[in-house]
Structure 1
């Protein structure tokens, strides 16, 4: 379960000041951080730093439109390179117990990428009621992370071409339909499990009716980015101060990093 190598090309002075950084989180804990867990204190410090340095947290859908050169206000924010969007993958219960109170208090928009098979089933996962409660706030949007978070490389290896295509289509379509039916919200964006994306998966996303999809790794997204492979910055407690500033400008060099 390994990401493709993502080495951001050094941006020119003008290019480095354009775009939007899409931040990727997974779990939250009041005391203990980890590879995919950020402490609530570290998260709030990240928000404080962004605010102090002129960054604006924008809704993910607005960020996508800004990257396309549309949108009423966001175009200026994206052009100035001071926009960030917050995403959270998988649907861990800590999103509701730890993150959501911060979201409400600070009034910041967040997008959750959910794989529905776990919701109200897995002990670690959110419930449908919790998801519905968060979406009603107007601050939290729910989008797709496929139906059960498969590793598409592994699935391709043991399936025929026709079976693999049908499997991918089912993962993308079923997730979209279940989320829309259970929550009554449009689902038009997708986060690729493990950051795996290729031409066949892009085509499947288009067939399923998605308008944008996100990877895992890389740097800030620049205008003209592939709308079905928009990079995201995996976040940890260590992303503070100068480290965070550097990542927002250029992003990391990622080689062989495991992605959940």
Structure 2
């Protein structure tokens, strides 16, 4: 395992907390193993992905004793095709990378217990020359650390083991931006200083060539082409999955979640018109868990996990001086590490005049100026160095297009000059343009979710014919607009979680839903979380605490209200321009937690000015069990 994977394990674990609602359900647990060795330290082994032979055997014992039913890849394919359903508590074991211990240590136990498994080698590693090495965790691995084709054939011929592909040479990082960040090869548009970013056509050709090389090697040596692709680092997209499906690899795996109610994959077709499967989530086994650790993880109710989010303006990070920008990035990442939130909601657009609309973007795109190619760099640093989930925060309608004539044609005519400049959601050109912006964001960046900005609203006197003028239809129309944007992004960044900002008034005053075309219940149905703007100073509340308590009561009175709502507090009083005292933030978060609020956030985090002050931010928003770091 190389240092790239070492950084990725934090992200993989955090991804296991995703608040996603799978479309097609079955009782399936998929476990992802790597190296099985006799000499693994009980805790703190240099190879975080090695599991001791003893613990692996005890895992099998515990699974059998607690009613888990081992299934094969064929059983999963049959169930997905409408054949025999999977048994209750089905479990599939997978082994990544093609390490020799899959044969020497795991395979004897699989035979003894009668457990089927999937083994997915990196085929390029099986062809290492005698003096070749692969950086893998604490040491370089040599040819002797990997399986031989004869060993793979023996396992395949036993009937217990299916051999899939883990790519031929995609298990590495490639330059993903001008700043040199190494990002997963399977989803990266390679950056080259002389040529810029790799084109989509060149990207497709590169991925197809790699998958074909892996498929051909397996078919040549084992007389059976792979039906499964296991994506290195769980990094894939719909384009890559379709290419794999064209080659017969119709089942794919990532690492993005775990649940006994597992997603069997989205029904669809590859480019050849064949039925294709979306990627299945797996639980990554790391840290050499003993049987108590494994049992605790499988019994843990993920729905009880709370979100702690800080929302960050990229405009605070950017500076005309690249050296200062680099210092700002490091300062932000260090601050996020010190605070310890679970999520960062990161601005992907530039709004220097503060009117709420994007004047430029922080990623390459087709329709607006790029202020700086910065979003991917900052998001990647936050994910890999600070270990948080990053949501890309982007407008829905609030864009100031480079084409001034088109901007005039599409802009909503509002009688209030203080409204956010927005484009007409009823004009199909708006959806086409904004959809392309979301696709460009996802094709060029690595992030975990989307935050739809607070610009997605319509006053009752704006575009009166939209939704036939009916409030519920206007609300549904804007929801559908955002879901279409999500679909465009998910072509390049699958399984994105979603949040959408909601003003407080539609919650506190139901009649005002018509003034915004926003509705809490509709948001709960559409998004993973609603980011409710719980900002009493913004609303002019005379008694902020009483106002917040009323907001909690209103949310709690809706189905799944507290489960699906993130209460986002303010750290600046925008009426006066003064920062809100850190003690106020701490007191508000304590009160909200005591009232049963599960998900909390604040905006903005003014890290250059240390506001909120680090101790206040940490107490209010740390997701750690014990947030107070020793100094």
1:141 aligned counterpart, secondary structure = strand
Tell me the number of residue pairs that the alignment of Structure 1 and Structure 2 aligns. Answer: 249
Matched, 1:115 2:129: no
Which of the numbers 65, 74, 81 marks the counterpart of 1:61? 74
The 8 Å contact of residues 103 and 109 in structure 1, kept in 2 or not, is answered as yes
Partner residue, 1:207: 246
Q: Structure 1 residues 99, 224: CA separation in 2 closer, same or farther (over 3 Å shift)?
A: closer
The aligned runs of 1:9-88 (5 Å cut-off) are 9=19, 18-33=26-41, 34-66=47-79, 68=80, 70-72=82-84, 75-77=85-87, 80=88, 82-88=89-95
- After superposition, the Cα gap between the structure-2 partners of 1:248 and 1:207, relative to the gap in structure 1 and judged at 3 Å, is farther
- Return the match for 1:195 from 234, 237, 240: 234
2:222 is the alignment partner of 1:222: no
Deviation at 1:41, TM superposition (A): 0.5
Query: Are the aligned partners of 2:111 and 2:160 in contact in 1 as well (CA < 8 Å)?
Result: yes
Distance in structure 1 (CA, Å) of the matches to 2:164 and 2:207? 17
Paired position in structure 1 for 2:389 = none
Whether 1:102 and 2:141 are equivalent positions in the alignment is no
> SS in structure 2 opposite 1:156?
coil
For the pair shown, which has the larger CA radius of gyration, 1 or 2? 2
Distance 1:38 1:243 in 2: 12
Taking the aligned partners of 1:257 and 1:139, their CA distance within structure 2 comes to 36
User: Is the contact between residue 195 and residue 216 of structure 1 (CA under 8 Å) also seen in structure 2?
Assistant: yes
- Separation in 2, partners of 1:99, 1:242: 20
Query: Which ranges in structure 2 are unaligned for 5 or more consecutive residues?
Result: 42-46, 129-142, 172-183, 192-197, 267-276, 306-341, 344-382, 386-631
Q: How far apart, in 2, do the equivalents of 1:206 and 1:100 lie?
A: 28
1:205-235 residue CA offsets vs partner (Å, 9 max, x unmatched): 2333321110023113635533332111111
Residue 174 (structure 1) aligns with: 213
- Residue-by-residue CA offset, 1:3-45 (whole Å, 9 max, x unaligned): 576233388xxx99x4201110010101215411111110111
Contact 2:257 2:282 in 1 (8 A): yes
Instruction: Judge conservation of contact 1:10–1:250 (CA < 8 Å) in 2.
Output: no
Across the aligned residues of Structure 1 and Structure 2, the Cα RMSD in angstroms comes to: 3.0
SS across alignment from 1:225: coil
Distance 1:230 1:126 in 2: 25
TM-score normalised according to structure 1 size: 0.83
> For residues 129 and 240 of structure 1, do their structure 2 counterparts lie closer, same or farther at Cα, with a shift above 3 Å needed?
same
User: CA distance change for structure 1 residues 138 and 212 in 2, over 3 Å: closer, same or farther?
Assistant: same
- Cα 1:139–1:101 change in 2 (3 A) is same
Cα distance, 1:190–1:250 mapped onto 2, change above 3 Å: farther
Aligned runs of 1:127-166 on 2, under 5 Å?
Answer: 127-150=148-171, 151-152=184-185, 155-158=188-191, 159-166=198-205
Higher relative contact order (CA 8 A, sep 6+): 1
Alignment TM-score, normalising by the size of structure 2: 0.36
- 2:249 aligned counterpart, secondary structure: coil
Name structure 1 gaps, 5 residues minimum: none
Q: Which moved more, 1:206-215 or 1:44-53?
A: 206-215
